Amino acid sequence: GDSVTQTEGLVTLTEGLPVMLNCTYQSTYSPFLFWYVQHLNEAPKLLLKSFTDNKRPEHQGFHATLHKSSSSFHLQKSSAQLSDSALYYCALSDRNTGYQNFYFGKGTSLTVIP
């Protein structure tokens, strides 16, 4: 079945260093991939989602590229900011409508320190 695996647990980075959070997936169909971000005491909200035409989505300095050959959608940012500290979820949605097909990874907690 479909699944999402992401860098688990806690990631601590120093401000200014690059961010890379890994996400790989398994899917029978052609999926959309998402990154959701959840700041402390807030609800998860969409950060990025993959496009169908291989464009690279970007938002707030974050970007991710869908690589179908390696089934990956890693989240990257060139320079971490203190405000990037949050819980990040990778998620998958495929096109097989009528069947439950939205899956979240277990989340990666990112802490950025000065």
Partner 1 sequence: EAAVTQSPRNKVTVTGGNVTLSCRQTNSHNYMYWYRQDTGHGLRLIHYSYGAGNLQIGDVPDGYKATRTTQEDFFLLLELASPSQTSLYFCASSDNWGGGDTQYFGPGTRLLVL
* Residue 42 or 58 having the CB closest to partner 1: 42
* Residue 25 or 36 having the CB closest to partner 1: 36
Distance between CA 53 and CA 50 in Å, rounded? 9
Distance between CA 51 and CA 16 in Å, rounded? 28
CB of 13 to partner 1, least distance (A): 20
**Strands 102-104 and 3-6, bridge-based pairing:** unpaired
User: Which residues of the chain form contacts with partner 1 (CB under 8 A)?
Assistant: 32, 34, 36, 42-46, 49-50, 52, 89, 93-98, 100-102, 104-107
Q: Which segments of the chain are extended strands (E)?
A: 3-6, 9-14, 19-21, 23-26, 32-38, 45-49, 58-59, 62-64, 75-77, 86-93, 102-104, 108-113
* Residue 14 or 53 having the CB closest to partner 1: 53
* Residue 92 or 112 having the CB closest to partner 1: 92
